[in-house]
A and B are shown apart, each in its own frame.
Chain A
Amino acid sequence: MTDPLSLTLGALADPTRRAMLLRLSQGVATVSDLGAPFALSQPAISKHIKVLERAGLISRSKAAQFRPCRLERAPLAQLTDFMAHFAQVTEGQLDQLETYLATLQPKGAPT
């Protein structure tokens, strides 16, 4: 899984990682902050962080002692483009179908 969008989608397939990202949307956090809400081992938490980091969804400061995590915007922008496309070819088509069906039926006809 090497292309950026697939990495993003793979990272987001897990609810723990989605929760971590939502936490980071409120500001930077340390790994232990991010792991605190979950009953998971330290290695499990680290693994989730690594997946998010590899997908470019978070970055970690090298300077500070606790290497806080920060949410990165670029992969999310690409993802929302994809989701808009996805919605267009599913929900959007149903909207178009609805509009077309309305044109085929006389207005005010008893239903």
Chain B
Amino acid sequence: MTTAPLTVSRVFKAPLALLWQVQTEPAHMAKWLSPDNPAAFISRMDFREGGTHFYGSPMPDGSIMYGIVTYREIVPMQRIVHVQSFADKDGNITPHPMAPTWPREMLATTTYEDLGDGTSRLSITWVPLNATEVEEATFDGARAGMQGGWDHQFGQIETYLAGL
């Protein structure tokens, strides 16, 4: 099975330097990743190539979603390549809490682009890393949903069926 990447992209009304800063400094990350309770955001960051970031992000249900990032490449204000995994509170890599066959490791490439006039574009591309065939199939199913729009279509089906 060949696995296509999943990409999301967004243009922000912010200069590139500011976007880079709030994406890479834990004090800022706490404020946008955990806007309701920044103090609850957990972060141990070693921001350098080969370094790691262990984080815990509070979820709306009160639980904390832990993850580990390992930085492979950092080009300031241009590009970050990192490996992303879910983790437990002790920093051990774990399966996705809702989907056990979700790829344990994902390779994420983030690119930053200055669009001028105080705007910048952020693009993130994910591909499964060292994935089993089952993990790749799980990722493919979700990617088809994110980018093919079937979550919307099936959401409609679900709503329709619920009314029968």
Q: Which residues of A contact B (CB under 8 A)?
A: 1, 3, 5-6, 8-13, 15, 18, 21-22, 25, 71, 73, 76-77, 79-83, 85-87, 89-91, 93-94, 96-102, 104-105, 109-111
Contact = CB atoms under 8 A, between A and B. Distances in A.
Contacts of B144: 12-13, 15, 18
A87 B6 CA distance: 12
B32 A100 contact: yes
Contacts of A97: 10, 12, 22-23, 32, 122
B18 interface: yes
Given A18-B150, A90-B8, A85 B98 contact: yes
Interface of B: 8, 10, 12-14, 18-19, 22-23, 28, 31-33, 35, 65, 98-101, 117-119, 122, 124, 134, 137-138, 140-142, 144-146, 148, 150-151, 153-155, 157-158, 160-162
Nearest to A12: B141
A53 to B, nearest CB: 17
